[in-house]
Chains A and B, each alone.
Chain A
């Protein structure tokens, strides 16, 4: 792998952000709106619900973590879509950058986009609602790693779809996370789901991440076994994502869709 090539592709997306103040605002705007919305809902539940009276910030913390996942995935997709929209796709794929370097660069750059959007929202939540995700302590770092890997895995699956089906797959890019959200048990315990769906949900890292988050905030205990289970499941999805991406890439070369993608 060449650091210079990975850096070059990352720089392309960094310049894109730096050249446009509205783009930075757009990155910050949506997570902030989410925090405000869930902050007020959370405050309402805290006042009016016995269940939440001792667990201030559970919903808001869940909203912040879910948004982290959402931003990570969308950031990955967006960077790929940018190449299609700008009709730069062919230039990228005839440059001597390896597919593994493209994946590495997008994975690293996606975290930057995610943090630009989320850090201001997280900081706003502290004085406004008295909630800080940092109260999760060290486990937060591991939970974020699991979320990030899963977010990028979803990004890889969506970009594989873009390679396979072309720009028409774009709508799926936006819908992908909403599809999984009900099974992720982000705002409610897994027991709420019907038993058949619980089996499916346990195959996702989200259930383990958000169950553990609630465990830390409500019970005050950390079960590292659950956290590492979520990381391992995320790594498995990440590897599957890479495999599917390569399959789609070679399929696209066979179908000739890499040439003139975006027209």
Chain B
């Protein structure tokens, strides 16, 4: 297993944001993290990124406990994108990519920026300030930043939230294509069930900090007797049972 989470919990005072969850992600696979708002998805991502200290439990990456890694050693292999986290607005797209490329110690940075800009079609607004861009453009720039260091692990929190269907489809298509050409393990938190069905090899369903079900999309749809993942999601989150 490339990523293994064991009995991971985060308790704020007496509130369990995440409650003893276990999951595994094989190398080069994509795991979908589903659940209603406030179910603990972002907290889980925060703990994987080392931004939040778990109350208990372990995160093992590539056979080594996360707490045993030096901070810069693990973070140079990981990256993250979310529409809720932005890049400095007053800096141009090129300046932002240059800065983060340097922070991640990217070799041949100019070449890498050129490559990724062409792939994500962001050259046209390369010299514009990031704050002046549309949501779709910002999301592509944010994705470019998250791939600047060719991460082995990519954490995505609702990467296509608030995008129009065309741009959303472009982003999903790009992630799919990137994954097919590169060695990358992805954890994707999303409310877009079509996106999850398209990108994820398997999913876990969270509710109130707990994992209530897991499997491939097909397995879950079949298990719950529904016709698609959206209906399955609704059944699971509205139920009080664990499956």
Residues of A within 8 A of B (CB): 2, 4-5, 7-9, 11-12, 15-16, 19-20, 82-83, 86-91, 93-98, 250, 253-256, 258-260, 263
Contact = CB atoms under 8 A, between A and B. Distances in A.
Given A19-B129, A259-B42, A260-B42, A87 B52 contact: no
Q: Name the prevailing secondary structure of the B interface residues.
A: mixed
B24 to A, nearest CB: 22
Contact of A96 (B17, B53, B86, B104): B104
Nearest to B46: A259
B12 A86 contact: no
B72 A87 contact: no
Given A8-B103, A259-B51, A91 B87 contact: yes
Contact of B105 (A4, A86, A253): A4
A83 B89 CA distance: 10
Interface stretch (B1-9, B74-82, B186-194): B74-82
Nearest to A263: B84
B102 interface: yes
A82 B10 CA distance: 29
A95 B79 CA distance: 8
A94 B51 contact: yes
Listed from nearest, the 5 A-B pairs whose CB atoms lie closest are: A8-B102, A96-B72, A96-B75, A259-B46, A96-B76
Given A5-B105, A256-B10, A94 B78 contact: yes
Contacts of A259: 42-43, 45-46, 49, 51-52
Contacts of B145: 91
Contacts of B88: 12, 16, 82-83, 86, 88
B51 A93 contact: yes
Main secondary structure of the interface of A (DSSP, over half): helix
Interface in B118-173: 129, 131, 145
Contact of B91 (A15, A89, A253): A15
B16 interface: no
9 contacts: A15-B92, A19-B91, A19-B92, A91-B86, A96-B71, A96-B104, A96-B105, A250-B53, A263-B84
A5 B91 contact: no
A89 B84 CA distance: 11
A189 to B, nearest CB: 44
Contact of B86 (A12, A88, A97): A88
Nearest to A92: B103
A88 B71 contact: no
B99 interface: yes
Contacts of B10: 256
Interface string B44-65: 0110011111000000000000
A94 B49 contact: yes
B71 A98 contact: yes
A256 B43 contact: yes
Given A20-B90, A96-B72, A5 B102 contact: yes
Given A87-B84, A88-B86, A260-B84, 15 more contacts: A2-B105, A5-B105, A11-B98, A11-B102, A12-B91, A12-B95, A12-B99, A20-B90, A86-B87, A90-B51, A91-B85, A94-B51, A94-B79, A96-B72, A259-B43
B51 A253 contact: yes
A208 to B, nearest CB: 38
Contact of A94 (B12, B80, B86): B80
Contact of B89 (A12, A86, A258, A263): A86
Contacts of A91: 80, 85-87, 100, 145
B50 A94 contact: yes
